[in-house]
Amino acid sequence: MEGELLKLKQEIETIKRVSPISTYKDLEVYQLSYRAMLITIKFVICNLPNFEKFDLVDQLRRSSKAVPRLISEGYAKKHQPRGFGRYLDDAAAEINETEVGLQQCIDLYSENIDIELVRWLVDIYSRLGKQVFSLKNSWVYVYKSSSPTS
């Protein structure tokens, strides 16, 4: 289990931009969000108390899984004027929700979790939020620049 965690953390630290982007899997935000989701589910949620199963555990599981899903679904609609942007907005909301849930894990269950790992994940999700914001703004600019009416 520790080997898998170390591997995932190393993958996150070495994610490289792929150019040109030909699929959602080439997006740095997708790669980062997917690996952060794996760590959140496999190494944090499993250590929370059983009575949190239908609250914090469920919410963290859903919000962390939603981020890469929204990015991939939005990428499929990148040709629509506001399609990708809407999905990126939703991904940003799920990122914020995951970040708050992880902070709650630190504040409520420090005896159950690896605090340093969860703090690191909070930083990763904070970084993700900034990247999604930047991607949305740059995508809107690129879309407007390439549209026939501009």
How big is the CA angle at 144 (ends 140 and 150), to the nearest 5 degrees?
165
Query: For residues 68 and 37, what is the distance between their CA atoms, to the nearest angstrom?
Result: 8
- Would you state the pLDDT for residue 148? 53
The pTM score is 0.88
- Would you state the pLDDT for residue 129? 98
Report residues of the chain scoring pLDDT below 50. Answer: 150
- Could you read off the pLDDT of 79-113 as tens digits, one per residue? 887 889 999 999 999 999 999 999 999 999 999 99
Query: For residues 130 and 25, what is the distance between their CA atoms, to the nearest angstrom?
Result: 19
In the chain, where are the structural domains located? 26-143
Q: Does domain 26-143 have CATH number 1.20.1440.60?
A: yes
